[in-house]
Structure 1
Amino acid sequence: MAQNMPKAAPKPCNYPGCGVLVRDGSSRCSKHQREAWAKPTTATKRVTGRRLQTMRAALFSSNPLCVECERLGRVTLATQRDHIRPLAEGGTDDDSNVQGLCHACHEAKSLAESKRGRQRAQWGAQ
């Protein structure tokens, strides 16, 4: 087998307006490479380990139901410790900024937060 075989079939660079064929299996040509993601130095440090488990247990014992489902008249157990105002948007990791959500409500809220984050990044890059 030849050593100079391409890794993938050539396809156009996915940078808007660029049609250069990319032959290395990536999605961008050498002119339009994405910068590697790095956590911002200003990012809030997350609570982990035993301290987080203790905080989760306290939250679920004091309010075992999903607050969003309760608001909608449903009764569902909370399974996720959620930041009301996300840490990425300036929220804190204290008891006044956390709530219990079920998996489905947490997933929906996280998707909306992720979309806002992508929009912030897009507007910030322009």
Structure 2
Amino acid sequence: MPYSPKKPCRYPGCPRLTHNTYCDEHAKQVSSNYNRYQRPKRSRPRYHHGWSKIRQHYLLHHPFCEMCLSQGRYTQATEVHHVLPLEHGGTNDLKNLMALCKPCHSRITAQMDDRWHRKPRQYHY
């Protein structure tokens, strides 16, 4: 399957080209910043190095988006979804995971998660 052309890294001032949103160097930094400053505090302890290994293992054994596959489309899975969210009592058990492409994961998250309906963030200066 041919790749789409590379695009500039979205990190301000970075000239590198990448197939992803950020180059490898800045992807780690952006992920770290998200985990530190934007991920809800109640779920921070649940997403740790162990989760990264579980995620990689699951994607290795489930390379296609499970929702697209059920519709007869072969789309590469890039994200792992918790069927029952961790904050609602779910676990990292393989039976509670689902390999999805970015659009399908965004769609499911928007439908079931309160992330998009949350009160605006309060900043205190």
TM-score range, shorter chain: 0.5 to 0.7
Aligned-pair identity in percent equals: 30
One-letter code aligned to 1:80: E
Higher helix share: 2
Distance in 2 of aligned mates of 1:74 and 1:91: 28
Task: Number of aligned residue pairs: give it.
Answer: 80
Distance in 2 of aligned mates of 1:52 and 1:72: 28
Kept in 1, the 8 Å contact 2:65–2:74? The answer is yes
Query: Unaligned stretches of 5+ in structure 2?
Result: 1-39, 120-125
Distance 1:54 1:115, change over 3 A: closer
Following superposition, the deviation at residue 82 of structure 1 comes to 0.7
List structure 1 runs of 4+ shifted beyond 2 angstroms. 114-119
Query: Unaligned stretches of 5+ in structure 1?
Result: 1-37, 122-126
TM-score for both structures, normalised by structure 2: 0.53
- Please give the root-mean-square deviation of Cα atoms over the aligned residues, in Å: 2.7
Distance in 2 of aligned mates of 1:44 and 1:57: 19
Query: 2:59 — aligned with what?
Result: 60
Kept in 1, the 8 Å contact 2:110–2:116? The answer is no
Q: Which has the larger radius of gyration?
A: 1
